[in-house]
Chains A and B, each alone.
Chain A
Amino acid sequence: MSAWETVKDNWRVVLLVFMLVLSTVFLFAPAFDSTANAAAAQENPTNLKYGLQLSGGTRIRAPLVGVTAEGVQFGNQSTAEVERAVAAELPNADSADVIARRTAGSATGTVELVADNATQQRLANALDAAGFEYETVRDGVTEATREQTVAVLRSKINAAGLSGGTVQTVETISNEHFVLIEVPNQDRSEVVDIVNSRGTVQIAAYHRVTRNNTTRYVNTTVITQEDFQTVGTAQQGGQGTGPHVPVSIKPSEAERVQRLFVQTGVAGQGGTDCSYRQSPQSTEPCILVIRDGNVVSSFGMNPSLAQSMHNDEWAQDPQFILVTGSFERAQAVSIDLRAGALPAALALDEGTTSSISAAQGENFKRDSLIIGLLAVLTVAGVVFARYSRPQVAAPMVVTALSEVVILLGFAAFIQYPLDLSVIAGFIAVIGTGVDDLVIIADEVMAEGAVNSRRVFESRFRKAFWVIGAAAATTIVAMSPLAFLSLGDLQGFAIFTILGVLVGVLVTRPAYGDILRALLTDR
């Protein structure tokens, strides 16, 4: 028999070997290593990507706070006017809590209420009071808001220097939308701190006004998030100022900002001394940095800055520093200003969070490897005890293992993050794989020796009907898990199904060929 004919006769085995070589390349060849830096490559000898469970990190899955009214009749009012009108009807809400969006080319649109205490009833009442007609009110926010929130969350995570973090939206089968945030190598509390605040920052003037013969202090908003031209990183600062964030104002807004500071008395002659913390009812005018409704810091204006505002010079070069009192607050303010405010906040109390330390990830990695190896050894033990002939049992174990190698190669190729559920899938694949190999072996060896190719082929085909049927039921049973977003089990289902497919199409037929070569006399 010529070499070519041998290859042709055993093409299934050739295919298996080819797949194994390919998988090995994907697994180990540095060219396919996506981790660019050398240090990471050394820690991880394979190209496998590990999920948070095995490498450590934090995952947060939560819906966004908010209710939406659809089909609201805007008439000829602008979205900003609608937002103000609706917000005016809601106590404890400002226009940042109401988002109006016009449906392109129509007089209708959506109005979302994204305040913490948003309910369908509150939004409906406010729309009625403001005189807007609408079709329906539902829970949840619009897709546009969701996308903007994801973009802001991404830039917040980047601004905080958390590398490798990802943010995406996921949709459940019941049409609920969740935001999924994954940040490697970070504690739960750090990530929650960053994503849990909406991060609206505004700069207000705190000053005295006299109305109807009574004098009291009020906040006048001077600068909002959109007014900043540039925002620097947090600075430690020297003596005097202390930790701060350098900022500059858009030229178009500079005149207005300057005028407001002068009018409110903050830019008073000779600067202002702020004693907001100690004596809020008797202080000179102050600048307040307000983040999510809380006063982060209060400070006066130094004489030279106040002078340049008075002289109408500051607006030519509108920059100053935001004094924050502590470096941590300077960082938080800087991140919020640069990333922007979240259109809608995350409802952490309606979602899940999961955080694993790097050390625990290492333990899980080691432990699950041991569990996998023990499972393989057990299978091998039972198979050898059942078939005392090593030429039947040994290829069986090797074939089952090669299914796992092919799946690992595939996982490395598509960079699927390995988690405990995927490992469970691998162990399940070994289990089903050996089951089918047992069917093939028993069928082929039934009723006496296999001494001709014809006998072998016919028996193999009969065995294959059962294997195909069994594979189909496993795929049908696992597919709900692969499509339902049942948390961490998608990986388990996907890899079990893939394993069954690889088994039926590649490895199990190859085992048949190997068995034939070992059992038939030519």
Chain B
Amino acid sequence: MARFEVPEVDYTRYSNRQLAAIPLVVLTAALLVIGGAYATTGAPVDPGLDFTGGTELRVAVDAPSDAQARERIDEAFAATPDSVQQVGGGDVYVITFESTEAEPGQLEAQAEEAGFTIRSIDSVSASFGSDTQRLALLGVGVAFAGMAALVFALFRTFVPSVAVVVSAFSDIVIPVALMNLLGIELTLGTVAALLMLIGYSVDSDILLNNSVLRRSGDFYESTYRAMRTGVTMTVTSLAAMAVMAVVAGVYGIGLLASIGTILVFGLAADLMNTYLLNVSLLRWYKFEGVAR
């Protein structure tokens, strides 16, 4: 069986500036991507059907080939679908209409007329979608503020708490930027994943801070101890979420696929942020900040 060992990093070879540079550059780039998206589209990330309103149909199409099935789908509907996605190489297609102009009742009738078997229909009205968007933003904001308050209450020291909160912030911002770059839309599933990240990603930061601040022993020894556990944790979750993202994507289960994808991005970002950004801030605090 393959062995999985957490390598020991020799942090003494790098200055705090060097360590923090990489995550800070990535964070800045991510913020720029999000800011650019906001400036051009008015939204930090492309909102999906849950927030804009629209209709998603899942239909079984009886056609000899994928191309012919797509042709039949194009012919069947009066409105032009925003996306047509094949599910798991079978005869089932997920068809998305992102405007509420195409009324779900009409789409249903058109699909039935074309002889498709309707597997599911989901429709969200535009006004309901914009309410949901406001609620989702509020939810993420409240969750983040609650987490930050809790972290300050747990450590009761400024710099280490800020280190955790900044890492967590970056853990959320990087996946959102990646969503922009990869064209992944914001759905309820991705919002859930972002909230999940707030909870998940601080685990390894708390572990690291606890090990360095509350335990005896030399800084590098404590860091390595926390890192061995923390990396194992994150890699385990990351592997599980990657499997979930891939398999759910093949089966066309959007909710699970988007939760999986965002968590993979976020946990990968967390590895970088915890062991470069958080470590450098902690080291500065331990060797210079306390002395002041």
A384 contacts B199, CB within 8 Å? Answer: no
- Least distance between B284 CB and chain A CB atoms (Å): 23
Q: Tell me which residues across on chain A come within 8 A of B253, comparing CB atoms.
A: 364, 367-368, 371, 420
Q: Tell me which residues across on chain A come within 8 A of B132, comparing CB atoms.
A: 486-487
**Beta-carbon contacts of A359-381 to B below 8 Å, as 1s and 0s?**
11001100110110011101101
A470 contacts B105, CB within 8 Å? Answer: no
Q: Tell me which residues across on chain A come within 8 A of B118, comparing CB atoms.
A: 187, 355, 357
Given contacts A350-B128, A352-B122, A424-B192, contact A378 B4 (CB under 8 A): no
B138 at the interface (CB under 8 A from A): yes
B256 contacts A420, CB within 8 Å? Answer: yes
B34 at the interface (CB under 8 A from A): no
- Least distance between A489 CB and chain B CB atoms (Å): 5
B122 contacts A354, CB within 8 Å? Answer: yes
A484 contacts B138, CB within 8 Å? Answer: yes
- Least distance between A427 CB and chain B CB atoms (Å): 6
- Least distance between A488 CB and chain B CB atoms (Å): 6
A478 at the interface (CB under 8 A from B): yes
A107 at the interface (CB under 8 A from B): no
B110 at the interface (CB under 8 A from A): no
B196 contacts A435, CB within 8 Å? Answer: no
- Least distance between B258 CB and chain A CB atoms (Å): 10
Given contacts A386-B4, A420-B256, contact A478 B195 (CB under 8 A): yes
A443 at the interface (CB under 8 A from B): yes
B256 contacts A431, CB within 8 Å? Answer: no
CB under 8 Å from chain B, chain A span 382-401: 382-386, 388
Bound: A485/B132 CA distance, A: 9
Not counting A353-B122, A421-B192, A427-B240, a sample of 4 additional A-B residue pairs whose C-beta atoms are within 8 angstroms of each other reads A173-B135, A364-B253, A424-B256, A487-B50
Q: Tell me which residues across on chain B come within 8 A of A43, comparing CB atoms.
A: none
Q: Tell me which residues across on chain B come within 8 A of A31, comparing CB atoms.
A: none
B206 contacts A466, CB within 8 Å? Answer: yes
B188 at the interface (CB under 8 A from A): yes
**Beta-carbon contacts of A53-68 to B below 8 Å, as 1s and 0s?**
0000000010000000
Q: Tell me which residues across on chain B come within 8 A of A430, comparing CB atoms.
A: 240
B136 at the interface (CB under 8 A from A): yes
Which of these, A173, A431, A486, contacts B236 with CB under 8 Å?
A: A431
Q: Tell me which residues across on chain A come within 8 A of B1, comparing CB atoms.
A: 384-385, 388
15 residue pairs bridging A and B, Cβ less than 8 Å apart: A354-B122, A370-B247, A374-B247, A375-B243, A375-B244, A382-B4, A382-B235, A385-B1, A420-B253, A424-B259, A439-B207, A442-B225, A470-B199, A474-B203, A476-B147
Q: Tell me which residues across on chain A come within 8 A of B123, comparing CB atoms.
A: 352-354
B239 at the interface (CB under 8 A from A): yes
6 shortest interchain CB distances as A-B pairs: A474-B199, A477-B199, A360-B119, A480-B139, A477-B198, A385-B4
Given contacts A353-B104, A466-B207, contact A478 B127 (CB under 8 A): no
A351 at the interface (CB under 8 A from B): yes
Bound: A172/B130 CA distance, A: 13
Bound: A144/B120 CA distance, A: 34
B256 contacts A442, CB within 8 Å? Answer: no
Q: Tell me which residues across on chain A come within 8 A of B154, comparing CB atoms.
A: 469, 472
B124 at the interface (CB under 8 A from A): yes
Instruction: Tally A residues with Cβ within 8 Å of B.
Output: 79
Could you say which of B14-22, B78-86, B226-234 contacts chain A? B226-234
B240 contacts A375, CB within 8 Å? Answer: yes
A76 at the interface (CB under 8 A from B): no
B251 at the interface (CB under 8 A from A): yes
Residue of B nearest to A446 (CB): B225
- Least distance between B94 CB and chain A CB atoms (Å): 11
Bound: A343/B122 CA distance, A: 27
Which of these, A421, A469, A474, contacts B255 with CB under 8 Å?
A: A421
- Least distance between A44 CB and chain B CB atoms (Å): 21
Bound: A371/B135 CA distance, A: 29
B150 at the interface (CB under 8 A from A): yes
**Beta-carbon contacts of B163-188 to A below 8 Å, as 1s and 0s?**
00000000000000000000000001
Bound: A483/B191 CA distance, A: 15
A172 contacts B135, CB within 8 Å? Answer: yes
- Least distance between B78 CB and chain A CB atoms (Å): 17
- Least distance between B179 CB and chain A CB atoms (Å): 18
Residues of B within 8 A of A (CB): 1-5, 50, 58, 100, 104-105, 108-109, 117-125, 127-128, 131-132, 134-136, 138-140, 142-144, 146-147, 150-151, 154, 188-189, 191-192, 195-196, 198-200, 202-203, 206-207, 210, 214-215, 225, 228-229, 232-233, 235-237, 239-244, 247-248, 251, 253, 255-256, 259
A20 at the interface (CB under 8 A from B): no
A484 contacts B241, CB within 8 Å? Answer: no
Given contacts A371-B253, A382-B4, A486-B191, contact A355 B202 (CB under 8 A): no
B120 contacts A476, CB within 8 Å? Answer: no
Q: Tell me which residues across on chain B come within 8 A of A492, comparing CB atoms.
A: 192
B240 contacts A378, CB within 8 Å? Answer: yes
A486 contacts B120, CB within 8 Å? Answer: no
Bound: A475/B43 CA distance, A: 28
Q: Tell me which residues across on chain B come within 8 A of A192, comparing CB atoms.
A: 105
Q: Tell me which residues across on chain B come within 8 A of A424, comparing CB atoms.
A: 189, 192, 255-256, 259
Bound: A176/B150 CA distance, A: 31
B195 contacts A481, CB within 8 Å? Answer: yes
Residue of A nearest to B121 (CB): A355
Bound: A263/B233 CA distance, A: 86
Which of these, B139, B151, B200, contacts A484 with CB under 8 Å?
A: B139
